[in-house]
Amino acid sequence: MIALIDYDAGNMRSVEKALDFLGEKPVVTRKREEILGADRIILPGVGSFGDAMHNLEAFGLTEVIKEAVEKKIPLLGICLGMQVLFEKSEESPGVKGLGILEGEIVRFPKTEGLKIPHMGWNSLSCSKDGRLFEGLEENPYVYFVHSYYLKAKDPKIVKATAEYGVTIHASVEKGSVFGCQFHPEKSGGTGLHILKNFIERQGE
């Protein structure tokens, strides 16, 4: 069973529809027992870092997510759901992230000719050992919508990057924890392939 964590951060339905298309029957939940009993967990999200962390705390989900990581239940954070896995964000000074992974979320610098937010299709440069990208062609295109991007502390966990005035850490993997800054559920066949890889991964 796949648990989609519901913390009022939007984007739930599009992820649910993509999983339905793949033949999965995800459970949209904020219940501890359902999350910890799942085979896979997805943490989607759009909006602000501060609001997301407030909601996760209010629903008692921060410790549940950390417990799931300790149990090594595969977890995929999407967009804002990936960002909150890290320590902090320039979007919400003073607000602590989950701190499951080391790094920070920073705002795109103003660059002539580039609009913020970074919105639309962009190509990825993928690491050969990126488990989410197995079986994909080189430099696949995926869909982004974000004004802040990840700077991971450990480059070894970065499995895909994209260029938009700066180098974006677009996907990370560490043990049973995965993250995508882009939206696989909005990235056509490529995104479905990425979700399928996450669903079918066995172990670490």
Would residue 112 show up in a list of annotated catalytic residues for this protein? no
Would residue 185 show up in a list of annotated catalytic residues for this protein? yes
Separation between Cα atoms, residue 163 and residue 167, nearest integer Å: 5
Which residue is listed with tokens 């870092």? 49
Which DSSP state fits 73? -
Whole-angstrom CA distances from 32 to 71, 90, 166 are 13, 30, 38
Task: Spot the catalytic one: 118, 146, 183, 193.
Answer: 183
Task: Spot the catalytic one: 16, 79, 91, 173.
Answer: 79
Task: Spot the catalytic one: 91, 126, 185, 193.
Answer: 185
Whether residue 76 contacts residue 103, with contact meaning beta carbons closer than 8 Å, is answered with no
Whether residue 142 contacts residue 181, with contact meaning beta carbons closer than 8 Å, is answered with no
Closest CA to 168 of 182, 178, 154: 182
Separation between Cα atoms, residue 85 and residue 132, nearest integer Å: 18
Whole-angstrom CA distances from 139 to 29, 56, 98, 161, 180 are 34, 34, 30, 10, 15
Would residue 104 show up in a list of annotated catalytic residues for this protein? no
Annotated catalytic residues are 79, 183, 185
